[in-house]
Amino acid sequence: MRRVKEPTYTKFITGELKRFDERNTGFSRGALEGDKYTVMHERSISNIEKLIPGKTILDHATWVSGRTADYVLRKSKLARETPPIYNHKFRLKNPDPTAMTRVIKQAARWIGADRVGVAKLNPLWIYTHWGQHNAMYTHAAKHGDSIEIPPEYDNVIVMIHGMDYDMMRRTPNVEPETDIGYSKAAWCAASLATFVAELGYKAIPSVNELGLSIPMAVDAGLGELGRHGQLITREYGPRVRISKVFTNLPLVPDSPIDIGVQGFCEKCELCAKHCPSRALMTGERTDKAWDQSNAEGIMKWPIKAMKCFDWWVKNGTHCSVCIRVCPWNKPNNVLHKTVRLFAERNILTRVIVFMDQFLGYGKQSKPEGGGQDPSVSKI
């Protein structure tokens, strides 16, 4: 791993980058066009009755339970300024940015984050307007409301929440790690924002709301953008969720990192080849957009967002196949740390990709029911 001056995406910028409108994300378009979230959840319920292995009532109960904290915190804490609960009187005097960064990272890890980084907030990553998806789930604004983060929020603390390797192997059956990952992300962002607020500083906690988490995480030295449009971290590969806290607390930003993802993705196309909806691109990067869901001005592998989301709707649950099959998705043990030394240097990339398939990594796991008959009757 190398610390670098500029994030690795900067060398692929070809034109003017503009703030993205959240109304154009696949999730927001899907929520508005045909109310696809409702259709997906109805499909999830009808799958229960069909007794589809991996999509039974037991699987269903697992993912919904995993979401509990996320649903509550999105409606009450995320995407809003966090007021202090008790301390309305004092403010930490003259915080030393270096020491404060250490304190914030300790606090974030104590609260439950797996990795923490700090970046200067790049206003380009803030959405211009709210999309239906996050507006609907947070109740913090309406679809189409404009978004402005005041300039005093000059730092962003980004947290990484790793997801369990074996649980992720269930996808595209019900895979509840994403759901509990969102709950952990919401909990950590909301709790860290309270920590900052009690110090007398400003904090806005957020998970997917308000801005693009992936470039913020890249800026904060937590990973790189992969072909599948996900953040690839060193320790968990793409098997992560991201949360963030915007703040005016004086902090020292981390340097971005280069872990070799750009060169690796140029030779590996596993995510694109295994994507059930053909939403991901094989071949060379492009700075052309498929539609309004892709940002322009940067060479990458744009995603056909609606193809992806339509497949989730058909599947009756979200999909993480592109995460499951990615060779960076490995347990962080000695064997894989050793292979990673080669992967990071783009040595033997094609051999690593071939062996990954040959040894059966990235395969879907068989559904388990714990011995309980999943048959249902009407309530």
Between 67 and 129, name the residue whose CB sits nearer to ligand SF4. Answer: 67
Confirm or reject binding of residue 227 to ligand SF4 (CB under 6 A). Answer: yes
| Closer CB to ligand SF4, 201 or 301, in the complex | 301
What count of residues does the chain have? 379
Distance CA 238, CA 229 (A): 10
Q: Is 279 in the site for ligand SF4 (CB under 6 A)?
A: yes
Could you tell me which residues are beta bridge partners of residue 244? 158, 206
Give CA–CA dist 135/74, Å, rounded.
Answer: 10
Q: Is 155 or 320 the residue whose CB approaches ligand SF4 more closely?
A: 320
Check binding of 268 to ligand SF4 (CB under 6 A). yes
Tokens 């034109």 locate to 15
Judged by CB under 6 A, the stretch of 38-46, 80-88, 154-162, 268-276 that binds ligand SF4 is: 268-276
Counting contacts by CB under 6 A, is residue 275 touching ligand SF4? yes
Q: Kindly state whether residue 311 participates in binding ligand SF4, applying the rule CB under 6 A.
A: yes
The size of the interface with ligand SF4 (CB under 6 A), counted in residues, is 24
Instruction: Report, in Å, the least distance between residue 87 CB and ligand SF4.
Output: 43
Residue 375 CB, nearest approach to ligand SF4 (Å): 29
Q: Does 218 bind ligand SF4 (CB under 6 A)?
A: no
Binder of ligand SF4 out of 184, 322, 340, 352 (CB under 6 A): 322
- In the block, tokens 């960064």 appear at 101
Using CB under 6 A, which of 79, 160, 308, 313 touches ligand SF4? Answer: 308
* Distance between CA atoms of residues 327 and 232, nearest Å: 10
**Which window, 30-38, 55-63, 226-234, 330-338, contacts ligand SF4 (CB under 6 A)?**
226-234
Q: Is 194 or 349 the residue whose CB approaches ligand SF4 more closely?
A: 349
Question: How far from 8 is each of 13, 17, 218, 300, CA to CA, in Å?
Answer: 10, 15, 8, 12
Pairing of strands 240-247, 203-206: antiparallel
CA distances, 334 to each of 164, 235, 261, 330, 338 (Å): 17, 12, 20, 11, 6
Least distance CB 177 / ligand SF4 (angstroms): 14
Closest approach of ligand SF4 to the CB of residue 166, in Å: 19
Residue pair 78/189 in contact (Cβ under 8 Å)? The answer is: yes
Which residues in the 285-304 window bind ligand SF4 by CB under 6 A? none
Interaction of residue 214 with ligand SF4, rule CB under 6 A? no
274, 325 contact by CB (below 8 A):
yes
Q: Which of 113, 270, 313, 352 is the binder for ligand SF4 (CB under 6 A)?
A: 270
Q: How far is the CB of 162 from ligand SF4 (least distance, A)?
A: 16
From the number of C-beta atoms within 10 Å of its C-beta (0-12, 13-18, 19+), residue 175 rates as buried
Shorter beta-carbon distance to ligand SF4: residue 338 or 377: 338
Three-state SS for 92-133 is CCCCCHHHHHHHHHHHHHHHCCCEEEEEECCHHHECCECCHH
Q: How far apart are CA 122 and CA 108, in angstroms?
A: 21
Report the interface residues with ligand SF4, using CB under 6 A.
226-228, 264-265, 268-271, 275-277, 279-280, 308, 311, 319-322, 325-328
